[in-house]
A and B are shown apart, each in its own frame.
Chain A
Amino acid sequence: MKLPNYNQRLLTIEKRTQRFMLGAAGVLLLVLLMIAVRQNYFHRSTPILFFTPNAQGLSKGMAVKFIGFKVGSVEDVSMQPNATVQVEVSLDNEYVHLIGQDAKARLVKEALVGESVVEIIPGSQQVKQVSRNSVLEFERGQDASTVVENLASQLQPILSDIRQITSSGDIQQTMRNLNRATGDFHETVNQFTRLGVSSNKAMDRMNSTLETLDKAIPKLVDKADSTLDNVQSATADIKKITNESAAEIPSLVRNSNALVQDGQETLGGVKKSWLLNGLFPAPEERALPVDGYIAPKQP
């Protein structure tokens, strides 16, 4: 009587175990499926190519961006028999229609200390869209250090010009002449006041001073003109450099900000993750310790 019961129980346990294992396997499959979706295994993409003389800064897995959005990634970087580098980029199919065949691929750094990305510069709208294995033109964008180096190299001669102008005798000599003329004129006016209008001597002296001034002023004007020309030329150079860098600097600053924000968010996420949240307990409001001593009042 006991054996059939025992067998029956064994069968029930087996069935339950099977159900449990099937359930667990189902959950595992679901997780794998979610990972696959997250990793874009089911995503359809179009490979396009570009060629570059060297592979510096390019690596497999690097993000490909189009007007700031990630539209694909670098699939392969390989050396060709003619010693050039072929880069294969995989573009998400949903964005392909936005990229014309005359679009350009540019290697840029996202921020001062950020990752490099391949940026797709849109081409003309009329041109046919890229297709499988289309070849794009490639160029290297300036990174922050290059911009700063260029700025420094172009500013250096301007600064030395300014130094030369200010330290040369021209301006100092002009100022000295002006001072002397003003001093003479002041003295003359004093004498003129003292002696009155009838004083011919003073009038003569005033005439002579005015003559000196007449001679000095054209020289002064010439020198001031030349100084102003130099300053104008320096200002024009600075303006030109600023214009050249204007396009790069705001994007660098913006990208740096985004990078810092990303960093903060990542750190926040890491702090809240299951493995590490024990190391970073959430801050709480705390009470000051109660002090059980009151000093006796002074007599």
Chain B
Amino acid sequence: MGFRLAISLLCSIGLLAACGHVEETRSARQEQATEFNQRAQRAYQRGEYQVAAAFYENALQLDVAVENVNGIAINMLNLAKVNQVLGNSALSQRFLDSLLEDKSLQYAPQHLAAAAVQKSLLRLQDGDVAGATIWADKAAAWCTTDCLLAGVIDNARASIALHEKDAEQALYWSERAAAANKGESPLEYANALRLAASARLLKNENDSALRLLEEALVIDKSLGLPEKIRQDLLLSAQAHEKSGRVEQAAQFRDRAARIAATAVK
């Protein structure tokens, strides 16, 4: 009886202690920064990239003011991304550099890995294969425990290999990326399928490339990514053309051209 009473009392005290639990408080400025970040994200999802950039800048300013290191890293990465979409490649690289070359603040390794992989892809876009490889290696070095970017880095390496027309390496990295991203990130899985298809096209395995592209197209349509859909269609056109199906190739090119005409990113 006494034991039961003791247990009941313990439970009551536990319950009271739980009721008294006080949630971690955040400053008004930090909450405001979060609000700007969320508004930017909504604008980005609607395709309003200029608006998103303005909101991310506001969020960054507040995070710098209260020295919220994670917030600074997140908003720098987001600004780099938005400017990349807007075609401001130089500005995008500047944001990444200010994150990667910052000696005063210590950013989390996953943020540095994200910045490095973005930088690698930008270098590749500018045709600097050596630079892209260096930054991909750095990204891999930062991406150790609890890092969700392994699949992204593999895709970046596959892109580098494709740029060098190394079909075997491209296929190796893209298949590794597909395995890492399947069920985790549909966006990266579709990227891996597209890269694998490009590698297969280099090896003249056109039918298997088409099968991969069909799967990627379905995913990209479900994600609503016009540029990716266009790329899937153009690669499909290339596969049909290589197989001698000129009419089908023309149809796919026509479909891709219609998407390009909308100029929706």
A residues sitting closer than 8 Å to B (CB atoms) are 17, 20-21, 24-25, 27-28, 31, 272, 274, 277, 282-297
Complex A-B: 5 CB contacts under 8 Å: A27-B16, A285-B38, A286-B37, A289-B185, A293-B121
The A/B interface has a contact count, at CB < 8 Å, of: 99
Residues of chain A within 8 A (CB-CB) of B19 are 274
Given the interface pairs A274-B18, A282-B23, A294-B121, the reply to whether A288 lies near B177 with Cβ below 8 Å is: no
A184 to chain B, nearest CB (A): 64
- Residues of B near A295 (CB, < 8 A) are 227, 231
Mask, B23-36, CB within 8 Å of A = 1, is: 11010000001110
Nearest 6 A-B pairs (CB), nearest first? A292-B155, A292-B152, A24-B9, A293-B191, A285-B37, A287-B74
A133 to chain B, nearest CB (A): 40
Check B34 against A283 for contact (C-beta < 8 Å).
yes
Q: Which residues of chain A are within 8 angstroms of B152 by Cβ–Cβ distance?
A: 290-292
Q: Is B200 an interface residue (CB 8 A)?
A: no
CA distance A21 to B8 in the complex (A): 11
Out of A20, A31, A294, name the residue touching B159 (CB < 8 Å). Answer: A294
A20-B6, A283-B35, A292-B159 known; 5 new pairs, CB 8 Å cut-off, are: A277-B23, A285-B75, A290-B81, A291-B81, A294-B121
Contact B12 A28 (CB under 8 A): yes
A293:B228 contact, CB within 8 angstroms = yes
Residues of A within 8 A of B78 (CB): 287-288
State A62–B228 Cα separation when bound (angstroms): 63
Q: Interface size bucket, B side?
A: 35 or more
Identify the closest chain A residue to B153 (Cβ).
A292
B residues bordering A, Cβ < 8 Å?
2, 5-6, 9-10, 12-13, 16, 18-19, 21, 23-24, 26, 33-35, 37-38, 41, 44, 59, 63, 70-71, 73-75, 77-78, 81-82, 111, 114, 117-118, 121-122, 124-125, 149, 151-156, 159, 162-163, 177, 185, 187-188, 191, 194-195, 227-228, 231
Residues of A within 8 A of B23 (CB): 272, 277, 282
Nearest residue in B to A31 (C-beta to C-beta)? B16
CB-contact partner of A285 in B71, B82, B188, under 8 A: B71
For B188, list chain A residues within 8 Å (CB): 291-292
CA–CA, A272 and B25, complex, Å:
10
CB A265 to nearest CB in B, in angstroms, measures 15
Inter-subunit contact A285/B33 (CB<8 Å): yes
Q: State whether A288 touches B44 (Cβ < 8 A).
A: yes
Residues of A within 8 A of B154 (CB): 292
